[in-house]
Amino acid sequence: MSHGCRAVQWTPFKKRFDAWMLAAMAAFLVSFLGVSAWLPPAGESYTPVQALIRATGTLAFGMLSLLLCIGPLARLTPRFKPFLYNRRHLGVATFTTALVHAVLVLVWYHGFGVLHPLVSMLASNPRYDTLAGFPFEALGFVALLILLLMAATSHDFWNATLGARSWKALHRAVHVAHGLLVAHVALGALQSEDHPGYPIILGVAVALVAGLQVYTALCASGRLTDTVAAGAWLRVGALQDIPDGRAVVVQPPGGERIAVFRHQGRVSAVSNVCKHQGGPLGEGRVIDGCITCPWHGYQYRPEDGCAPPPFTERIATYRTRVQRGVVFVDPAALPPGTFVPPGTAHTA
């Protein structure tokens, strides 16, 4: 196979991506510390540790916000799809940066008392009944635990062990972590820092992440065809409206989405969910006769939903037919790997 239906490996591209990512992180930290030393907060002297705490916290929040933007941006333009292949590395780097921030906070503010630093942090401020003085550190700690869980389960071993659906559901907790960090910053840094950069960064990040998520969700719903029942079958639309090598996605009432592909005048339908990480197969295309997932290149034959040998992944298939130039699909899923003769424009 010319395209990668294989586990994500440490390719030269990933090495270059990691090098650029680490260089960008280092440049941000150096710039932040330099500006902090040159322009310290009014009434405060420059303290390297405190500046590093601010720098790592800002960087971790920015990286997590960027991480949540990659998926929507990749759906809007293929230019961002290469970043999908490297989200794990960016996610692990985000967790590492957040961990450094948390360790510095514990050591600097809670490491010199009689209590354990973690106990001191959680017990020093019990004012959970008010927004003024709310213990924002606890919100950051819970977010860090979520990022730890996702970083620890980022390997393909956990994807295979938990299953694509469970693994994907678990990693959607990143949205919870981001929400907790928004509250952590709003109730923490924004209450004590006078610099206008902090509310600007927070506002832009929230607007960008939320706006992209909503916009791509609306676009995705717009790409779904208006499915009309024809007996037990669903009307997909005109054959000529399905681009060659591409798919349209239909949503059966109460069922899973179905990707209906057209390739060389034939029509095939498969599950819209990739077995690897639950990627949207309907947003991919047919390459070398195989449906290719846009996320990591996993491939499936359109007629039986099987990955080409030696790979063993299989997805559900669906019966299709074409009548008078209109494509229909049976919403009843067949067992994964079931061969279905492709529908053609001559099918009655």
Q: Does the pLDDT value for residue 58 go beyond 50?
A: yes
Region 116-141: what's the mean pLDDT? Answer: 84
Distance separating alpha carbons of residues 269 and 273, to the nearest angstrom:
12
* 327 within 8 A of 260, measured Cβ to Cβ: yes
For residue 255, the SS3 value is: coil
Please report the pLDDT score of residue 275 as a whole number: 86
Question: In sequence order, what are the residues at sequence separation of 6 or more whose Cβ sits closer than 8 angstroms to the Cβ of residue 219?
Answer: 75, 76
Residues with Cβ within 8 Å of residue 242, at least 6 apart in sequence: 236, 248, 260, 261, 262, 267, 327
pLDDT reported for residue 42 = 66
What is the four-CA torsion angle of 203, 205, 211, 214, rounded to 10 degrees?
A: -120
Token couple for 162: 């938990």
Confidence of residue 183 (pLDDT cuts 50, 70, 90): very high
Separation of CA 73 from chain center: 10
pLDDT at 11: 65
- Which tokens sit at 53? 């705490």
pLDDT of residue 221: 58
Cβ 147 vs Cβ 175: under 8 Å: no
> Which range among 7-16, 86-95, 111-120 shows the weakest confidence by mean pLDDT?
7-16
Do you know the residue count of the chain? 348
The per-residue pLDDT for 5 is 41
% of the chain at pLDDT higher than 70: 91
Band of the pLDDT at 2, cuts 50, 70, 90? very low
DSSP for residue 333: P
Q: Which residues contact 164 (CB under 8 A, 6 or more apart)?
A: 273, 274, 275, 276, 277, 278
Find out whether 106 and 92 touch, Cβ atoms under 8 Å.
no
* Lowest-confidence segment of 78-92, 167-181, 285-299 by average pLDDT: 78-92
Q: What is the pTM of this model?
A: 0.70
Taking residue 63's Cβ as centre, other Cβ atoms within 10 Å add up to: 21
Q: Kindly tell me if the per-residue pLDDT of 254 is higher than 80.
A: no
**How far apart (Å, rounded) are the C-alpha atoms in residues 130 and 145?**
24
CB 306 within 8 A of CB 316: no
pLDDT given at position 6 = 44
Residue 306 has pLDDT above 70, yes or no: yes
Q: Collect all residues with Cβ–Cβ distance below 8 Å to 10 and sequence separation of at least 6.
A: none
Shortest CA distance to 243 belongs to which of 284, 215, 279? 284
Q: How many helices (H) and strands (E) does the chain have?
A: 11, 12
Rounded Cα distance between 27 and 37, Å, is 15
